[in-house]
Amino acid sequence: MEFKDYYRILGIEPTATAEEIKRAYRKLALQYHPDRNPGDRAAEERFKEIAEAYEVLADPAKRAKYDQLYAQWKEYQRHGGRPEYFNWTPWTAEAPGTTRVRFVTEEFPDLEDLFAGGFSEFFERLFGGFTPTRPHRTRHTQTGLRGEDQTMTVELTLEEAFTGTQRRIRTGNKAIEVRFHPGIPDGHVLKIPGAGAPGYKGGPPGDLYLTVRIRPHERFERKGNDLYTTLTVDLYTAILGGTATLRTLDNKTLQIRIPPESQPGTQLFLRGQGMPIYGTPHQRGDLYVRIAVELPRNLTPQERDLFQQLARLRKTIA
């Protein structure tokens, strides 16, 4: 008996979630549907194979049994075992049963004849027989097949993520307005219901999943809800103390107090001056300002003499 790798058939990993299994199945089933491939025997067989894989992996009980077999089969192969010598006995269904086939009743109500001959020997041996059923036929004939979900990536500047923005996104032959709220994180996925591919035979459209990517910024680095930046001050401000101006992401200015004798690399902490917290924009993270010191150049003779005096004075004190 031939082992069926249902994960490979659907193009997913064994760790796939229920939603990932369903999404992969819908995409492939739509691609190989007999109505889209009339007279194509290979597409028909591929469709049946996809449907069988989904019948097992979408059912928690069947998947649990299959996963145990899958792990043992992979281990058997790893040790060089020959397929014809694998012991199938522990995995054989104790008695043929009747399995209500999900994909026929819920997704493809008009394809019962296609599965009249049953599933593969592998499926039959593991789970017993099946009988296609026809409940809810009218409902599914009316709604048709749901369209495929689609994915897209959109890039925002850090300023746009800070203040929030709106973009016109084109998908297929239509354009939609999408609002990105302040503080949206890098890698965040927005679900836009009904903005995916059109449905088949009058079915509802799929959804659009937008992944947000935030471009690197030349002055600010974002870590979660906090911001990090470097502020350069002159030598005299670093030694004597004072204030320095910092321009923020929303183009405002902050007056930063520089403590006397601030060393290069000193980090100042400004509470509540970071990124807006996504979902609660009235709250914000914190801002960390690293001090860099700019040394004077092109010294005049008088300035150089003063620095030499200072150097001698520091040696005397030491």
**What's residue 93's pLDDT?**
60
**What's residue 3's pLDDT?**
85
Whether the per-residue pLDDT at 2 is higher than 60: the answer is yes
Cα 33 from Cα 47, distance rounded (Å): 6
- Does 74 share its domain with 133? yes
- Does 210 share its domain with 233? no
- Does 50 share its domain with 109? yes
Query: Is 318 a member of any domain?
Result: no
Tens-digit pLDDT profile for residues 217-274 = 999 999 999 999 999 999 999 999 999 999 999 889 999 999 999 999 999 999 999 9
Cα 27 from Cα 255, distance rounded (Å): 55
Tens-digit pLDDT profile for residues 126-174 = 877 554 444 333 333 344 677 778 889 999 999 999 999 999 988 877 8
Higher pLDDT, 96 or 62: 62
Query: Is 210 a member of any domain?
Result: yes
The answer to whether 275 touches 183, Cβ cutoff 8 Å, is yes
- Does 135 share its domain with 14? yes
Query: Is 314 a member of any domain?
Result: no
Residue span of the structural domain in which 22 resides: 6-143
Query: Is 307 a member of any domain?
Result: no
Whole-structure pTM value: 0.57
- Does 132 share its domain with 209? no
Backbone dihedral angles phi then psi of residue 261, each to the nearest 5 degrees = 60, 40
pLDDT band at 115 (very low <50, low <70, confident <90, very high): low
Which of 143, 178, 196 is a domain's end point?
143
How distant, in Å, are the alpha carbons of 12, 155, 170, 188, 216 from that of 212? Answer: 23, 6, 15, 5, 13
pLDDT band at 317 (very low <50, low <70, confident <90, very high): confident
pLDDT band at 118 (very low <50, low <70, confident <90, very high): low
Q: Which of 58-67, 100-109, 255-264 has the lowest mean pLDDT?
A: 100-109
- Does 181 share its domain with 157? yes
- Does 33 share its domain with 136? yes
- Does 191 share its domain with 248? no
- Does 116 share its domain with 11? yes
**Which pair of structure tokens corresponds to residue 157?**
């500047």
**What's residue 35's pLDDT?**
78
Q: Which of 134-143, 291-300, 301-310 has the lowest mean pLDDT?
A: 134-143
**What's residue 138's pLDDT?**
34
Query: Is 303 a member of any domain?
Result: no
Tens-digit pLDDT profile for residues 160-219 = 999 999 999 888 778 899 999 999 999 999 988 888 888 777 778 888 889 999 999 999
Element (H, E) at 28: helix 18-32
Query: Is 165 a member of any domain?
Result: yes
The CATH number given to whatever domain includes residue 260 is 2.60.260.20
Query: Is 256 a member of any domain?
Result: yes
- Does 183 share its domain with 247? no
- Does 18 share its domain with 102? yes
The answer to whether 225 touches 284, Cβ cutoff 8 Å, is yes
- Those residues whose C-beta lies under 8 Å from the C-beta of residue 57, and which sit 6 or more positions away, are 6, 7, 10, 16, 21, 63, 66
How many domains is the chain built from? 3
Residue type, 29: A
Residue type, 73: W
**What's residue 223's pLDDT?**
94
- Does 287 share its domain with 255? yes
Query: Is 34 a member of any domain?
Result: yes
